[in-house]
Amino acid sequence: MTVTYVIDGAEVTGLDSFWPVIGAAVNGPGGYFGSNLDALADCLSGGYGTPDDGDFVIEWHRHEGSRRALGHEETVRTLQRRLERTHPDNRPALRARIEDARAGRGPTVFDELVEVIEESVPGRLRLL
């Protein structure tokens, strides 16, 4: 039997709110499901609330609201936080990504989340 996890896009107002929303969708109220892209990929791989056999679907309801909330403005904010703790050798590339995001170019936080979900559980994300 396929398990369906539902993300309510209306509850996703920024990246910080995404983590508890997906945690609750998978593991119930107060459920934890990571707080960065690597943790998300690990959790989606099974054993952290999702079935080990990968027999599940993620439905992201009202995803357009999430797409807006996790757009370029949120991407700039997220990348700036990342810049503070990144290795100095990586700072020029990160600064270039920040400038692109400020100009409305390049992938957004929403795009990155979708990419991680689709790579971790191919064909199991439904944007509704």
- pLDDT value at 87 more than 80: yes
Q: Are residues 29 and 61 in the same domain?
A: yes
What are residue 7's DSSP bridge partners? Answer: 60
Q: Could you report the per-residue pLDDT of 21-38, keeping only the tens digit for each?
A: 999 999 999 988 889 999
Q: Are residues 39 and 93 in the same domain?
A: no
- pLDDT value at 54 more than 90: no
What local confidence, expressed as pLDDT, does residue 30 receive? 92
**Alpha-carbon distances of 73 from 15, 39, 91, 112, 126, rounded to whole Å:** 11, 23, 19, 14, 24
Tokens coding 14:
């920024």
Rounded CA separation 8/69 (Å): 13
Look at the chain and report how many structural domains it folds into: 2
Q: Which residue range(s) make up the domain with 17? A: 1-69+109-128
